Structure 1
Amino acid sequence: MLTRRHIRVKVMQSIYALSQSQSDQVDKELKFINMSIANMHDLYILTLDLFVKLSEYAQNQLELSQKKYLATSEEKNPNKKFIQNAIIRHLSENEALKEALQDRKLDDWELNDEYIRVIFEEMLASNLYKKYMADTEMSYENDRSFAAKLFSEIIAPNEKLYEYFEDKKLTWIDDLPVVNTLILKSIKQAKQGKERIFLSELYKDDEDKAFVKELFTKTVLNDEMLTKEIQGKTPNWDKDRIANLDLILLKMAICEFLKFPSIPVKVTINEYIELAKEYSTSKSSMFINGILDKLIKEYKQENKLNKIGRGLM
């Protein structure tokens, strides 16, 4: 579930927080990273649960309509295609999802059901929903296509939902694009009888889990050495004139060059250029690329790159 890029973002944010507070409590900040990552998993679970709550809300609305004293023929025999959607039913019946919600005490939608109502009403008014409900075709592929479009066109862009996530936890806004991408990918890849796909593991493997701690601690504990590596690589170099975030990204990249033998040089450079584009100033990516390029040439000449495996230089 968690990509290497997102791990780098989490580490970058924590090193930045550490530098701003001028604290030396490395263990405390490492705990914050792990908590932040766990919170991202909560966001993923809560977002999946939206489908379940929408289905439950729809079922409740149908039952209320059937109980009307002067219920119409359509209300007495409603179209249940949405409620019976195979993807949403998978999620409703997914015991792992139920357990995760209970274990993490994620009852947000029970306490804030107005968000379910708002999304439900937007769905009802959409051409996407009307077209789906009018279509007599009943197939897994049709249900999967609708669920994917429901998420990408109605749920994910919902402004009220975005505001809720932003207010709920500070780190969730940065996590949202990754979580949304993962959920959409899971829906599109879903196959009958393979419901477990929705509950991805937090880390791809133990190596990625260890990468969080190693990148953070090795960058922080080698700060003096990493600072020296940067000095002299730009004309009239002045630490105070470089954006703090750029300095952190450079140190993290250099740390990967020198302390992570299994990570290819090109991967490190590309990753930190992209992070600079997304999180720092408009000129940061060019600045970082220039310094890293100089360093790589120097390291190769001095044989300082200790990379394992073919194609890692």
Structure 2
Amino acid sequence: MQTIFAYRQGREANFGIAQEYIAEGFAPDLNSMEVQDRGLLKEQTQEALKIFKANYKDESFSSTAGSAERVNTVVDDAIRQYHRNVHKDYLFFKKNMVTEAEKIHDRYISILNLLISFSERSVQDKRENHGNFVKNLLIKSLSSNENLENISLRRNLKWDEEDTSVWQWFKEFVKTDDEYKQYQNLAETTFEDDKALLMHIVKNIIFKNEVIDKYMEEQDINWTEDRAIIKSLVTKTLKSISEEDDESDLEIQELSYNWEDDKEFFIMLFVETTKVEAEYEELISKKTKNWDIERIAATDRIILEMAICEMINFPSIPVKVTINEYIEVAKKYSTPKSKTFVNGVLDVIANELTDSGDIRKSGRGLIDNK
């Protein structure tokens, strides 16, 4: 959803850029020796803008309505520029959507490495005895895992270049933490003690500390959005470590059970939603009595269009599953009233599209659709 929203924001920006281009096309030439008819230039600017706004969505449009050839030429150039920029953004967001999603896994790996880095700093800290943390069995399991090591090296996800920050975090937030101190004071630690400490560091220091959080946001614009997923992957990894396991048995979590299929789904949903946006807006407007389509929250419009696109283009997904999923999206990303609005509109549209045959489900998609 964020990608489609960003794409549309970019499209609006391109619309503004095209209008600026038109205005510049009729700006007085200050270097010209000829007298500039500023009144005429202003009139031609308004004329060109009017033609552009009425026809900019048609990429093949060629203006003949201008009072002068210059007006037609500027309008045509502005439309070509607009569509060229929109297409460039489309390709960027289509690719970037997948790239940004894959970064979630990189952040997950980097947090596992941060735990290892904290342990390494404890070894280097000669002022205090960090014996229990140095011997932590879960840290040993992470440090000895070849898969984690290979992924980290291949993607450059170690903390070696951030030594100053890691040292600061360890000294100011880890070693001064009350639970860490209690753990260090234990005469002997159990495997469960080791696990409990790492879970505490993850939940209450790495993912709650404002300084660390700010650093993560600076490194990754999507950190705030992805934080919960990354935290879940890290905690699942720690919980999965068993005292009986060999270090090599540590299971690195995947972004999904079948990322290649999910990636294909994301791309197709993006492509199909952007492809038929106008058609869906008309469908939505018919089912939103007393609502001006332009006044509906931008996120709600995107949510509705994506849901309709999914219902039509993915026959194996039950309609009720789609509606429920996008209600949850509305709860998280839109206004307090959005969930009720989205639920009501999608329910009506789903029934109509099913009756008309536009929604055709098969296999698993037939579940709960009666």
TM-score interval, normalised by the smaller of the two chains: 0.7 to 0.9
Q: Per-residue deviation at 1:197?
A: 4.5
How much does 1:180 deviate? 0.7
Match of 1:214 in 2: 268
Q: Give 1:214 shift.
A: 1.3
The equivalences for 1:97-136 within 5 A come to 97-108=148-159, 110-136=161-187
Match among 208, 213, 216 for residue 157 of structure 1? 208
Q: Does 1:33 align with 2:89?
A: no
In 1, distance between residues paired with 2:274 and 2:136? 50
Which sits farther off after the overlay, 25-34 or 107-116? 107-116
Q: 2:151 corresponds to which letter in structure 1?
A: A
What CA distance in whole angstroms lies between the structure 2 residues aligned with 1:128 and 1:94? 27
Task: Provide the C-alpha distance between the structure 2 equivalents of 1:121 and 1:193, rounded to a whole number of angstroms.
Answer: 33
What is the root-mean-square deviation in Å for CA atoms of aligned residues?
A: 2.1
Distance 1:280 1:91 in 2: 39
Higher Cα Rg, which structure: 2
- The residue identity in structure 1 corresponding to 2:367 is G
Q: Deviations over 1:196-247 (max 9, x none)?
A: 5452233321322211211111111122332232121011342211111111
CA-CA distance at 1:107 after TM superposition: 4.5
Report % sequence identity.
Answer: 34
Report the TM-score, using the length of structure 2 for normalisation: 0.72
Cα offset for 1:275? Answer: 1.4
Q: How far off is 1:264 after superposition? A: 2.1
Give the Cα–Cα distance (whole angstroms) in 2 for the partners of residues 256 and 156 of structure 1.
34
SS at structure 1 position matched to 2:108:
helix
Amino acid at match of 1:24: H
**1:299 matched to which residue of 2?**
353
Partner Cα distance (1:88, 1:17) in 2? 40
Cα separation, 1, equivalents of 2:357 and 2:250: 44
CA 1:211–1:131 in 2, change beyond 3 Å: closer, same or farther?
same
Greater relative contact order, per chain length (Cα 8 Å cut-off, separation 6+)? 1
For the residues of structure 1 that align with 2:368 and 2:316, how far apart are their CA atoms? 7
Structure 1 runs (4+) greater than 4 angstroms displaced: 194-198
Residues 1-313 of structure 1: pairs in structure 2 closer than 5 A: 12-22=1-11, 23-25=86-88, 26-61=90-125, 64-65=126-127, 78=129, 80-108=131-159, 110-191=161-242, 192-193=245-246, 197-205=250-258, 206-308=260-362, 309=364, 310-313=366-369
1:240 alignment partner, SS class: coil
1:59 to partner: Cα distance: 0.4
Q: Which residue of 1 aligns with 2:45?
A: none
Deviation at 1:36, TM superposition (A): 0.8
2:169, 2:212 within 8 Å by CA — same for their partners in 1? no
Match of 2:23 in 1: none
Per-residue deviation, 1:292: 0.8
Q: Secondary structure at the match of 1:282?
A: coil
Say if 1:196 and 1:220 are closer, same or farther in 2 by CA, change over 3 A: farther
SS of the equivalent of 2:287 reads coil
Decide whether the 8 Å contact of 1:253 with 1:268 is kept in 2. Answer: yes
Distance 1:178 1:116, change over 3 A: farther
Q: How far has the Cα of 1:176 moved from its partner?
A: 1.1
- Shift of residue 112, structure 1, vs aligned partner: 4.6
Deviation at residue 253 of structure 1 after TM alignment: 0.5
Provide the residue aligned with 1:68 in structure 2: none
- Contact 1:215–1:252 under 8 Å retained in 2: yes
Q: Deviations over 1:272-297 (max 9, x none)?
A: 11211221222222211111121123
Q: For residue 271 of structure 1, what is the amino acid of its counterpart?
A: E
How far off its partner does 1:109 sit? 5.1
Structure 1 gap ranges (5+):
1-11, 66-74
CA contact (8 A) 1:203 1:209 kept: no
TM-score with structure 1 length normalisation? 0.84
Pairs aligned (count): 289
Residues 219 and 252 in structure 1, CA contact (< 8 A), matched pair in contact too: yes
